[in-house]
Chains A and B, each alone.
Chain A
C-alpha cells in the first residue's frame, strides 16, 4: 500500500546497521530537484522531508495519489445512510409518533440530522484516515536518530534513500547523493 513507510518498516534488514542515507538541503527548490534526480536514477524507496508542504515534492518521489478522499467519501456515505436509516427506523418502525398529523416518514425533517452526521463521519475519517495512512502515531522512527533532522520541522530540507531500495549501495548511493550538492550527508542508523 505504502512503499515508503510501511514496507521499509516491516522488513528491516537483519544485521544491516544502516536504515539509509540522508542528505540535507538548503532550500525547497534544491530538495525538489534532488528528489527528481534520485527518482530518475532509479531509486524508489526514498522519502523527502520538509517543514511545510511543497508543491510537486510528493510527485517528485513518485507518490501521486493518496486515498484520503476515498476514505472520507466512504465514511461520509456511511454517516448519511446510518443517520437516515436510524431516523426512519425510529420515526416509522419502532416509535411512531403522530406530530401534528405529519406522515411518519416525513423525510424533509430528516435531512438535517442526515447532513450533520455525513459531515461528522466524513470529518473524523479525514483526520483518522490521514493519520492511519501515514502510519501515525509512530513514536519511533530511525530518521530522528540524525541530530540535524530536528531542523526538518524548522527550516531545512532532507532527502533519504532507504537501505531497502534494491539499488541501494552504501558507497554508490553516498557518491550519488554527494553529486546533488547537499549541505551534508548522514547515515541513518536503524
Chain B
C-alpha cells in the first residue's frame, strides 16, 4: 500500500527548508545571529545611516510642533497631502505581515514559517510609522487623546458615525493585536535564547521576556489554542483595517473616493505593497545572514505570486474606476478620469499605471520570479507604485473637485519629504535592531517542519 502513495506536488518543488538540517542546527543557526555573531562594520555603518534618517524625522516633527502644519504643502482644497498618503502607504505595508502570520497559518501554508516573524516585526514598525502621520496631521498632537471616548470636563464625546473615529479604533486595535501576536509567537524562542545565552545579563533579559516558559505539553496545548485563536481573530481584523481606511475616503463625496469598490481594492493594494516590502527586506537579509536554507526560492517565488495576484486585483480596481467614470454618466466622475489622464498630475498617473500594472506583469515569467535581483527591483517598483496610487487618489481628487473656484494645486515642501524620509529611517532602524536582538525566524515553528517532529500514531498503539 505504501508504494501507492503519490508524491505530492509540493515535494517536487524547492523545499521550504533545505535538506540536512536537524533540530539543533536550526536552533544554532538562528539563535547564533542574536547571541554569537559579532557586530560587523557593515551593520554599524548601515545603522548610522538609518538612525541618522530617523533623526530627520525628529527634526521634521520638532519643527512641525513649533510651527504647525503650515510648514507642509497642504492647503485648501488639498487638506490631506503627504500625511494621509504616507499613513495609508505604511499601514498597507503592514498588512502583509498579518496576512503571512494569520491567514497563511489558517490555510496551513508551511512556507509562512520562515518569514512570518520578520514580516510581523515589519508590520509593527510600519504601523508605528503610519500612526505618526494622522497624529501629526491633527495639528495639535498633544491633544490626540481627544479621539478616544473618555469622560471629560468638556462633556464631549466622539461621533461614532464618523469613519475617522472608526479608524482610530481599527488602527489602534491593529497595532495592539499585531504586538500580541508577535510576542506570543516569540515566547518559546525567547526561552531558547534564555537557555543558550552565555552572558548572565542576556540570560536575565531573555529569561524575563520568556516568563519561565518550559515547553510543557500542557503549555503547548494551550499555546496552540491561543495561537490559532489569535490567527482567527487577526484574519478578519487585517481585512477590516484597510477597509476602514478606505471608508475614510469612500464615505466622502469627492469624485474618485465615493465608490463601493474601495474596501476590497484597498485591501488587495495593501497586501500587494506589503509583499513587495517583505521581498525588499527578505532578499538582502537572507544573503547577509546566510539564511538561504530557511528562506528558499520557494518563499520568494510564492511571495512573487501573491504579489502578481493582488496586483491584478488592483488593476481590476483601476479598470472599474475608469469604467465607472464613463458608465456612471456623472460629469464629475468622467472629468476625474480625464483629469487623471490629462490633468496637471497626468505624469504621476502614468507612472502609477506603469509601476503597479505594467512592470509587475513580468512576474508571469519564472525567470523573473526566481532571480533575486529582478525580484527585488520589481518589488521596489511596486512600493513606489503603491505610494503613487495613494498620491493620485488623494491629490488628484482634492485638487479638482466640483467647483472651478475651489481648484488648487498641491506641492509638497521639504518638510513633507523630510517627514516621509524620516519614517523610512524609523522603520529601517527598527528592522536593523530587530534582526540583531531577536530571532528573526521562528525557531520552534521551523523545528516542526522537520520530518522527525511528526509522531506516528501507529507506532504508539503497537506498544
Contacts and interface: CB of A to CB of B under 8 A. Distances in A.
B215 A50 contact: yes
B453 A52 contact: yes
B217 A61 contact: yes
The 5 A-B pairs at the shortest CB distance, nearest first, are namely A137-B211, A130-B226, A155-B23, A138-B212, A58-B221
A172 B445 CA distance: 37
Contact of B230 (A48, A110, A123, A140): A123
B195 A47 contact: no
B236 interface: yes
8 contacts: A52-B445, A58-B221, A61-B217, A66-B221, A68-B229, A120-B173, A136-B219, A138-B212
A32 interface: yes
Interface centre among B22, B161, B216 (most CB of A within 10 A): B216
A32 B455 contact: yes
Interface string A99-115: 10010001001101101
Given A58-B218, A58-B220, A130-B223, A137 B212 contact: yes
B336 interface: no
Interface size class for chain B?
A: 35 or more
A49 B214 contact: yes
B448 A53 contact: yes
B226 A129 contact: yes
Interface stretch (A10-18, A146-154, A163-171): A146-154
Interface of A: 2, 4-5, 27-29, 32-33, 35-37, 47-58, 60-61, 63, 66, 68-69, 72, 76, 86-87, 90-91, 94-95, 97, 99, 102, 106, 109-110, 112-113, 115-117, 119-120, 122-124, 126-127, 129-131, 133-134, 136-141, 143-144, 149-155
Nearest to B194: A153
Contact of A54 (B173, B217, B234, B240): B217
A122 B231 CA distance: 11
Given A124-B180, A126-B233, A136-B212, A63 B192 contact: no
Given A29-B456, A97-B159, A140-B212, A51 B23 contact: yes
